[in-house]
Structure 1
Amino acid sequence: MEEEMRSAKWLAPVALITSSGAIAQSTPQDRSPDLNAAAADAQRQLRQTFTNLEFEDFGPAPLKGPLYQASAGGRILYYAPESEHIIFGAVYDSSGVNITALSQDQSARKRLSSLDKESALAIGPAGARQVVEFTDPDCPYCRALDRFWNSRAAAGKMVRRLIYFVTGIHPGAAAKAEHILCSKDPETAFRAIYSGHQPDQLLTCPDGAARLAKHGSAVKSVGLTGTPTLIIGEKIISGFAQGEIETQLEGISRKTQALGPPGP
């Protein structure tokens, strides 16, 4: 939550509420006849529209005025300027479609198209499914993610990782990332660093520094707040969420099979 609050400071000094906190009980002095009638109509419509859900409490929310959608740190949020509230949550339509997720996917597509893929460190066969990965050499979850990719590769489930280094979180990350990019065999150097090996001397070079600067630009363009962060297909996955990663990869695989092999 601290990351969320820092990423939203530009909006205004606001009070945060969660998606579950958006439905609140009204106080006795708020319960005028008109309000009671409007609330009864709204509650009836809610139950008729979302018939698969059971609702317990119902009443006015603290929000006032229009609600706007914004993006911060790769996440969609909603802002009510009149009451100065931010909502971090998901919006669903009457068909059960997650509108927030669709907006996040659309945002991911825009960001992915702006990435300089030539500057990325590519690990994995060229013909394998592509995954964009933002990582930090000193991030323990990033190292766990690397072990996960290695275990999938050992099982014959290869991906091609386009790696961008995030260097603004841990003080030693930039030097280790530049060492990897300057090595004669960057993939071997990457695996050594991520397995915990500490070289006696870290390499530096103009090309590595230049590529690392481009990685910094990519991090800003995507609006990252933490590592690891993945873009798989058109979806952004924050953190080492193994189940979500596997589900997304399987979903892409099913789509590929349904489409059939590429034409000549």
Structure 2
Amino acid sequence: MYRSAKLIAAALLCAGVPVYAQDSGTEPLTAAAADAQRQLRQTFTNLTFEDFGPAPVKGPIYQAIAGGRVIYFAPDSQHLLFAAIYDKNGVNLTALAQDASARKRLGAINPADALVIGPANAPKVIEFTDPDCPYCQALERFWLTKAAEGKPVQRLVYFVSGIHPQAAAKAEHILCSPDPQAEFRAIYSGARPTSLHKCQSGAAKVARDAETVRKMGVSGTPTLLVDGKLISGFQQAELEAFLESKAQKPNPIP
């Protein structure tokens, strides 16, 4: 997935993955650190920890949303953390917070303004995409494969035009073509037309999509909303599970 944010810091905050902290060397742990290490091992018994020591992050940590993504800030040490917080039961609290934030922003999406691809009676997904994003192209191949297997979806498509320089022009070309769905598939399959279609309605739709992207805080492609859940990037396993869950169920509108 393409993202505008860069990883600035990592910390002991990630309890669901192996912990990397400042090497404590041969210095003995303080009583508080030794107690913390003991609690860590007792709480997360399914993990093996090779090292334990002080992290560079100091003071309280606060949660924020940036670009649709949950981040954490430690003002005392001026650290920004891109991490996932898990509770002792293995629940990803960061993912839950991100999903809740996405649901709050659903009001920014106008379904009537989407480029609709797929049959009306199929499970619906909201998709933010970029014609020049290789992961979006891989997602397109995935949808085509699933449709051929008898598992189609109806996609409400919005174009992200702020990442690649030709994305807006290609999106307008798709929208201004006689058959936008067919041209969408062609462009995402690697077609390179010698000239790109232009039209006022297509340009207006690209501009509206850009405003929707801004309001939603979408910063990478592809980004999907599936049953109200935010999926960042082409996460094939999650999409397979979604399609499987819909196989014997009626289709709710997201």
RMSD of the TM alignment (CA)? 2.7
Q: Secondary structure at the match of 2:9?
A: strand
Segment drifting more, 65-74 vs 53-62:
53-62
Contact 1:74–1:236 (Cα < 8 Å) also in 2? no
- Give the letter for the 1:23 counterpart: A
Percent identity between the two aligned chains: 58
In the superposition, the TM-score normalised over structure 1's length comes to 0.82
Q: Which amino acid in 1 is paired with 2:236?
A: Q
- Which residue does 1:141 correspond to in 2? 135
1:117 maps to a residue whose letter is P
Distance in 2 (alpha carbons) for counterparts of 1:246 and 1:181: 29
CA offsets, 1:1-39, max 9 Å, x none?
A: 98323xx8xxxxxx522545663344678x6xxx72112
- Mapped partners of 2:251, 2:237: distance in 1: 27
Deviations 1:31-59 (A, max 9, x none): 6xxx7211222222222322333333222
Contact 2:123 2:251 in 1 (8 A): no
* TM-aligned CA distance change 1:169 to 1:105, over 3 Å: same
Whether 2:243 is the aligned partner of 1:242: answer no
Partner of 1:94, secondary structure, is coil
- Whether the 8 Å contact between 1:136 and 1:228 is mirrored in structure 2 is yes
Secondary structure of 2:136's counterpart equals: helix
Q: CA deviation at 1:236?
A: 2.3
**Alignment pair present for 1:220 and 2:214:** yes
Q: Is the 8 A contact 1:50 1:94 kept in 2?
A: yes
The structure that is helix-richer by fraction is 1
Tell me what 2:9 maps to.
Answer: 16
Q: How does 1:73-92 map to 2 (within 5 A)?
A: 73-92=67-86
In the aligned structure 1, how far is the partner of 2:191 from the partner of 2:3? 32
The counterpart of 1:106, out of the listed 95, 100, 106, is 100
Query: Within 5 Å, which residues of 2 pair with 1:47-62?
Result: 47-62=41-56
Aligned-partner residue type, residue 30 of structure 2:
N
Give the structure-2-normalised TM-score: 0.84
Q: Which residue of 2 aligns with 1:44?
A: 38
Matched letter for residue 3 of structure 1: S
Q: Residue 25 and residue 207 in structure 1: after superposition, are their counterparts in 2 closer, same or farther (change >3 A)?
A: same
CA contact (8 A) 1:129 1:160 kept: yes
Structure 1: which amino acid aligns with 2:74? A
Superposed, which structure 2 residues align to 1:181-192 within 5 Å?
181-192=175-186
Q: Report the Cα offset of residue 122 of structure 1.
A: 0.5
Are the aligned partners of 1:16 and 1:87 in contact in 2 as well (CA < 8 Å)?
yes
Alignment of 1:136-175 (within 5 A): 136-175=130-169
Amino acid aligned to 1:229: T
Tell me if the contact between 1:232 and 1:249 (Cα under 8 Å) persists in the aligned partners. Answer: no
Number of matched residues? 246
* Larger RCO (CA under 8 A, 6+ residues apart): 2
Mapped contact 1:77–1:88 kept (Cα < 8 A): yes
Amino acid at match of 1:17: A
- In structure 2, the residue matched to 1:122 is 116
**Counterpart contact for 2:20–2:51, Cα < 8 Å:** no
When residues 164 and 26 of structure 1 are mapped into structure 2, their CA distance, relative to the original with a 3 A threshold, is same
Amino acid at match of 1:24: Q
Letter in 2 for 1:43: Q
Report the CA distance between 1:215 and its aligned residue.
0.5
Matched, 1:195 2:196: no
CA offsets, 1:106-157, max 9 Å, x none? 1121223321222110101112111111111222322222121111111110
Give me the whole-angstrom Cα distance separating, in 1, the residues matched to 2:101 and 2:232: 14
Q: 1:150 to 1:49 in 2, by over 3 A?
A: same
